[in-house]
Structure formats: C-alpha cells, structure tokens
Structure 1
Amino acid sequence: MSLLKDRNFLLLFAGQGISRFGDGLYTAATAWLAWSLTKDPTAVAVVSVSAFAPAFVATFVFASYADRGDRRKLMIATDLARVVVVAVASVLLSLDLLNLPVLVA
C-alpha cells in the first residue's frame, strides 16, 4: 500500500478509475441512445463500433509519437477532448438535434 501514499500515483490511480467508470457509462449511454433514437439493433452496433474505432486506429498511428512526448499532458488533453465531444453531444440532444448520423460521427 506504499504506492497509495505517493501523491502522483494516487492522483493517477484516482483519475484513471474515474475515467474508466465514465467510459463504462459512456458505452452504455451511447448504446441506449442509439436504441432510443432508432429501435434498431444494427444502429446500436454501428454506434458502438464508431465509439471505439477512432481509439483503436489512433493507437496504431500515434502510439510511437505519444511515447516521445509528455504523457501527463497527453492524458489530460485527450480526456479534455473527450469531455468536449460528450458535452457537444449533450447540447445537441437537449436541442433535439441529435440523430443517428450525428451520434455516429
């Protein structure tokens, strides 16, 4: 338990835990939203794949570049970018402008 006494490790551990929890909620919410918009299981599958495809592809393309930079800044920047994307989707949903193509994008 000596690792949890290290402030930097504790911050990383807590931040990653919260992020993983949010990822789980995001996955469930996007699947539910696709279902509520279309009632089509294919749409749920398309939205689920489109939610994970960019990260999968970007890992192959940018992994070597990520190792060369400051990992802390990269983690913060990518999490903030994800917050912006979800916030935009939330605003579009509240304005009743969110449809399946926008959700996939």
Structure 2
Amino acid sequence: MKTPEGDVVLDYLCSSKIGTITMGTEFLNFEYDGPLVTSLEQAGELNALLTFGYDATIQLKSFGYVSGSANFSCAVDGLLIGFIERNRARTASHPNLPE
C-alpha cells in the first residue's frame, strides 16, 4: 500500500489475519490464539512487546507490557469490576524502565 510517508507492507497469516505490518525499518508483528490477538510486538523507533490474556469466556483477563502487567476482573455480564496493576522492577534486561 502506498502512502505519502512511504510503502506499507501487510503480510497475512492464514485467512484474513494480519501477521506483520511493515513500513521502512518499523514493524508490528501479531500473534494469535484462534481469533484472539495474544501478543503485539512493535519494533523500530519504539520497541515494545504487548501481551494479552483471555479467560474461558473470551474476556480480556490480563495485559502485559514492558514495565508491568495488569489483571482485569469482570462480572458475569462482562462489566469490568476490578483492575490490578503490577509493575516490574528495573533489571539488567530492562535497564531503561522509568523510575
């Protein structure tokens, strides 16, 4: 796909799921469990890995990111009723986390 900023390349997995979106040296890489996105890796100007966890009813249960994670609790009707955030400490593998 041509844009004024440059070419955008969409690589598809089986069926209509996008596997990778690339523009120049930057990309987004998607991983799936069935129809659900389980991780999204971003590389280029910003580098990050986002992870998504789901419960048996396909409600978002957890969200992970470089500096921590969050867990969600939902009522039977799907209404969000709880949110717990857990921060990760700065480590040798992630030395640039904010203080």
Which TM-score band applies after superposition, normalised by the shorter structure? Answer: under 0.3
Q: TM-score, normalised by structure 1?
A: 0.22
Q: Which structure's residues are more often helix, by fraction?
A: 1
Q: Tell me the TM-score normalized by structure 2.
A: 0.23
Higher relative contact order (CA 8 A, sep 6+): 1
**Larger fraction in strand:** 2
